[in-house]
Each structure stands twice: as C-alpha cells, then as structure tokens.
Amino acid sequence: MCGIVGIKSDKENVCLSIYNALTVLQHRGQDAAGMAVSDSNGFLKMHKDNGLVRDVFNEEQMYRLSGSIGIGHVRYPTAGTMKNSEAQPFYVNSPFGIVLVHNGNLVNTSKLRKELYDEDKRHINTQSDTEVLINIFASALENNLDGELNNECIYKAVNEVHSRVVGAYSVIAMIIGYGMVAFRDPNGIRPLVIGSKNDSTHMVASESVSLECLGYRLDRDVEPGETIIIDSHGKIDSWKYNGDINRTPCIFEFVYLARPDSTIEKINVYESRLSMGRYLAEKIKSTLSKKELDEIDVVIPIPDTSKTSTVPLSISLNKELKEGFVKNRYIGRTFIMPGQKVRKKSVRQKLNTIDIEFKDKNVLLIDDSIVRGNTSKQIVQMAREAGAKKVYFASAAPPIKFPNVYGIDMPFVEELIAHNRSIDEISKEIGADKLIYQDLEDLVSAVKEGNPSIENFDTSCFNGEYVTVGVDADFLENLSNSRIKSEL
C-alpha cells in the first residue's frame, strides 16, 4: 500500500507539486519517501530516505530537486526490509537512465531474481521487489530496442513485463530525456489515475485526491494492463494490453486504505462507505435480539475511517450517534506501522475517550475492519474503563482470515485475529459482549453500487481466493518465513 505520483509540466519546476502530492498520499505509507526529477538537460536529481515526507525533504533538498518532470513515492513496506536503501524511487542506467516507483507486491519475485541473474545478466542489490521490477522493465526495453528508443519499443517492453511478472503493480517510470511511462497490471489490483491541467501538464497518481488538491482535472483511471506514455513535450500516447484482462480492484482500498475523498474505478470511496454502513445496519438488526437492540444507548465510531459508515447505520438503527473517542492527529495509522510491538504501544497514544459518552451506557462501537485485533481489544477495554455497561462491536468488513499478497501487510496468519477462530471466540478475545461482522456479499454489493460494471473485486484476505496464479500453500509459507519475525 504505497503511494506514487508522477508529473510532467510545461513549467520548469515540479518538485513542490510532487512534494504536496506526496503529503496528500501520506496515509498510504509512512515508512519512507523519495523523489526523482529531471531537467531540460536530462540531468537527474534524486533524494530518498526513511521518514515522513515533511522530514525527508528540507528546503535545501527542495531547491536542488528542480526539473520539469519527476516522480515520487511514499513507502509502506510489504516486501524487503526497512533499510533506507530500499526506499523508492529505484534507478538503473542501462540501457537508458530509468527511474521507477511502484505500488503493489509481486508474487513471483524469487523466480524473477533467478532469471535476472541467469538470463538477463542483471544483479539485484536489495530485497525490494521494486528493484526486481525496474530491472525486468529495463531488460525488456533492451530486448525490444530496434534502433532509437520510441513508443512502440516501450509498449513491447511493458507487454514483456506483463508476460513475466505476476502480482499487483501500478508503476510510474521516468526514462531520462524521453518522458514518463505509467502502467498497471492486467488485473488492475492497485489503483492508478491520470489527470491534467492543460495539453502539456499531466499527472499520474495512486488516488484522485492528490490530483484534485493540486488543481488538476481527473481524466480517468489507467486501465488494467494499459500503458501511458507522456513524452518530453507533454504529448500523451496510450496502449491497451492485448493479453488477458481481468479487472479485479482491491476491495480493501474502499474499506480502509484510500481517502474518502478519492474516486477509484469511478467509485466514490465516501459513497461506498455510506453503503457499507447501510448494509451493516441490516446485519446488526438480523443478528441482535430485540432486547439487545433496544438496550443500545449510543452508537460510537472508532476514528477515522469508520465515521462515514456509522452515519447511515445510526439512522437505520434509530440510535443516537456520538463521538466517544478523540484522535491524536500527530500519530500515524497504526495498521501500517512497522512491527507488532509498535502497533500495540501506539493505540492508547492515538485515541482517548470522552468518558461522559460511555458512563453507565450500553454502547455499539463501529470500526471499518478488524485485522490483528490489537486496536479493537484496547478500545473495548477503554470503553469499559470509561464506564460502559455493555460493549457491542461491529465491523464494516468481514473477518480477515487470510494473508494479502498484493501490497497490504498481512503476511502472518498468526497475526490475524480471525484466523482459525469463530466469531464468538473473536468476540471473547477482544472483550466485547457481542461481535457483528459485515457479510462479504454485502460488502461487495455496497462497493458495486458505485460502478455496477465491475464484476469482480480482489477479496482474497476475506475468502482466500487469490486473483493471480502461484499463490498456494507453499508460497504463503515461504512468504511468512521470509518476513522479519523479530518484529512480532
């Protein structure tokens, strides 16, 4: 779940716009940030490091990072390590100077590493799958080069990438002196959109909100498998993949990952969360007894993502909606913090109760999802300490039982509270009087309301049905073993 952006402008300096776009996308990754720009002379300047955008780039670095074309990245590590050498962008100088940023996660990384060494004669220096991806792209360019570099050569190279790479990848690359290339995997798992200000100023990014905040017009989503080339003069050319296309966007983007003011696959994220609340209200009505429903005094959302779903839910249940938790705005999203120990410590630093909303009341708490259960358990405990008599808990997403291999940090099934547990067991584990989950069918229906033409979503973390080939028991075991378990 990284955030990526690329800008080609008719003006000389894009670094401030990239910086601002990355701050808007900061929710997608808080581990590292990076930027690479090129000027009219083809001179490349790059800076990246661990930390938030505001900490990675200072005034001196911003002054140095001047150019008319550039790309940026905020990192949330799902592959490799947390070393700053694995921050993006990545750069290779053969057959051309190429800089690349990537959102997603590759499934066949081990196979590709071996192929790059044995067949392509390329060496990988880090554990990052993005370094693998840029070398696959560079090798494909070299293989399809026929005289001078041209758009046809780039199209063929991306076609080769699609044929070799398995997994989720939304990519923005910069070929120094030529222009910008953006492409998306044939399943369209991770989001990517394109917008413009005029005929020669264009922007590609993970979410539409980053375009809108910078005054760009959202033109459309980059299609699954599509390649878009923006040359050095700002001219756009696009090419659709002629292989198998299976549009399967990640449904967890709508549940939690994306900002509510974004639009993905023509679906407004805010509206989708309103629908989730309406469906969840019906599930609560059918699950709780009349006595249990009648005794609920107040509905309280857990900040921030669940607030949207809670509004229509409280209306449907005819229950008063109150804010019982205050969020510290200077603490990051605990779900994407590295390491189980850090996540556990950060919950009480992030939230505090308004005791008057809990004292001597039966409360219904609403959250967007329950992943590891750390936050949920501590929140239930906080509600009781604030004086709640009974604590009911509802999740706008179904139980998360399986690892996500496409860019969300759920590698260890042992971390997932719903793994091998019944709903009653999960309820007991987090300390709730009763727990209600959204049904998967209802979640899909809620999101599809925004765009009925989308037939399928990636729901693998809920049902274990993976979009791509190669995700079997052996793969999942190897994935788990390859991660840094000392974090747990």
* Residues involved in catalysis: 2
Nearest alpha-carbon partner for 339 in 24, 1, 5, 31: 31
Cβ-based burial of 119 (10 A; exposed 0-12, middle 13-18, buried ≥19): exposed
Amino acid making up residue 335: F
